[in-house]
């Protein structure tokens, strides 16, 4: 749980917006983690040959556009990352964010090692229980003869 919380906090620090923003009014600033900058934008084409560079349709962001704005949703997104769901990180291109890529790789390796250690411990406990029952059965067989 400590490992999961620490990675959630690291993602929160790395990906949370640095400036305040409202979700009902568009604010354009230089913050790459602002949900208005992460929202999908679509260019309008007048016909198949021309396009106007000034006409865009912008999807309004919601609370799930950037799930790393507060620690609670950051922890939830990290739990989803543990299950293999990387959609909460899909708004950031990995080529432009090497820190994010390194953090994701570290998360994958650390959690894989942790889960393997848990499975090894559970398997060892099951084997000890099996050894104990084997010795009890062997003693019962010896007592019969």
Taking residues 99-124, what's their average pLDDT?
A: 92
Q: Per-residue pLDDT for 117 more than 90? A: yes
Residue 122 lies inside a defined structural domain of this protein: no
Q: Is residue 89 part of a domain?
A: yes
Residue 48 has a pLDDT of: 62
Side-chain half-sphere CA neighbours of 4 within 13 A: 14
Question: Is residue 56 in a domain?
Answer: yes
Q: Which domain holds residue 69?
A: 2-104
- What was the pLDDT predicted at 111? 92
DSSP string covering 79-129, please? HHHHTT--GGGTTS-TTT-HHHHHHHHHHHHHHHHHHHHHHHHHHHHHHHH
CA dist., res. 112 & res. 83, Å (int): 11
Q: What per-residue confidence (pLDDT) applies to 75?
A: 92
Assess if residue 127 is contained within a domain: no
Report if pTM > 0.75: no
**Do the domain assignments include residue 141?**
no
Total structural domains in the chain? 1
β-bridge mates for residue 56, sequence order: 43
Q: For the segment 23-73, what is each residue's pLDDT rounded down to a tens digit?
A: 667 777 777 777 767 777 676 666 666 656 666 676 777 777 788 888 998
Q: Report, as an integer, the average pLDDT of 94-122.
A: 91
């Amino acid at each position: 749980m400590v490992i999961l919380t620490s990675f959630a906090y690291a993602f929160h620090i790395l990906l949370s917006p640095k400036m305040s923003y409202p979700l009902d009014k568009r604010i354009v600033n230089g913050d790459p983690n602002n949900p208005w900058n992460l929202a999908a934008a679509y260019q309008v084409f007048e016909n198949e040959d021309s396009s106007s560079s000034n006409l865009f349709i912008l999807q309004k962001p919601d609370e799930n556009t950037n799930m790393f704005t507060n620690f609670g949703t950051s922890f939830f997104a990290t739990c989803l990352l543990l299950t293999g769901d990387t959609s909460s990180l899909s708004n950031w291109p990995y080529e432009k964010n090497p820190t994010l890529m390194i953090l994701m790789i570290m998360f994958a390796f650390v959690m894989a090692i942790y889960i393997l250690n848990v499975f090894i411990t559970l398997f060892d406990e099951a084997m000890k229980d099996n050894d104990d029952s084997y010795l009890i059965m062997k003693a019962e067989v010896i007592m019969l003869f």
